[in-house]
Amino acid sequence: MHIHWYPGHMAKAQRMIRGQLDLIDVVIELVDARIPLSSANPVIAELIETKPRVVALNKSDLAEPARTAEWLNYFRNRGLTAVTLDAASGKGTKELTGRVEQEANEKIAKLVAKGIKARAVRAMILGIPNVGKSSLINRLLGTATAKTGDRPGVTRGQQWIKVGKNLELLDTPGVLWPKMDDQEVAFKLAVTGAIKDDIFDMEKVILKLLGVLRESYSDRLVERYKLTQQLPEDTVELLAAIGAKRGCLRSGGVIDYEKAGRIVLTDFRTGKLGQFTLDRPEQMVTSEANPVPTNDNMSLV
């Protein structure tokens, strides 16, 4: 299965990034703490080459704390600086900026040694769409200078933004890879909102999500939707049970599956079903050995 979502502005973004790299001291890569593997665009690593990088696990408030700790250890054990972040509330931003400045210390010191006046650290923010780049900038500035949105693809151009005396940020559009052959990655990007809702099969994604929740988080479904402890094994029946409890009914008492599915998806994305981490560090090891595992059992589009 190939999800083709690579609009022209993304190809342009890659060219812009390459053209600005010589000006950059440190790259900040934002990933979704719920899916650090699936939201880590391999194209970004290729683009930045040997530039110092700080990995920021954003939306950490929506992820399972124990799993987030595992991911921090994973990145740090591989020589990468990694921090947790909740750009929406501002938690973790101070540590992030401190780490970015630390990563640039060596380069700034070399400039000073050459007789060049010390300057602010220049950092570039990269990440896939809807991972929270503009929200982070707004939080750092304490204002809504950078445009934000609740859908992928809001940011289109580049902008330099001064943050205090010691840091300058270059915002860039979200960069998603041209195609995704891994159905699990496609599912996780879709369910967390990184892919526009109108380009994948919403029904299949929601039913798959219900399968995951039933398997590993059944207690949350029972509590949130006031269901019986013995959940239906069939995900369509499970969705019908949720719809009935939430009053998602059409004329004649027929279940409105689309409305019920939207409720589940929204509850998942906003944390009303609790904290979730869908990626595990051990998957990253498998991914490194086999970068593009495929699974053609379910097509999302």
pLDDT digits (tens, 9 = 90+) for 56-79: 999 999 999 999 999 999 999 999
Coil, strand or helix: which one is 159?
A: strand
Q: DSSP assignment of 64-130, as one string?
A: -HHHHHHHHHHHHHTT-EEEE-BTTTTBTHHHHHHHHHHHHHHHHHHHHHTTPPP--EEEEEE-STT
Would residue 210 count as lying in a domain? yes
How far is the C-alpha of 123 from the C-alpha of 97, rounded, in Å? 10
Residue 225: is its pLDDT beyond 80?
yes
How far is the C-alpha of 296 from the C-alpha of 2, rounded, in Å? 10
Domains of the chain: total: 2
How far is the C-alpha of 174 from the C-alpha of 157, rounded, in Å? 10
Residue 275: is its pLDDT beyond 50?
yes
Q: What percent of the chain has pLDDT over 70?
A: 80
Q: What percent of the chain has pLDDT over 90?
A: 50
Mean pLDDT for all residues in the chain: 84
Confidence at residue 183, expressed as pLDDT on a 0 to 100 scale: 85
152 and 231 inside one domain: no
How far is the C-alpha of 192 from the C-alpha of 203, rounded, in Å? 15
27 and 152 inside one domain: yes
Which of 171, 201, 233 marks a domain boundary?
171
29 and 85 inside one domain: yes
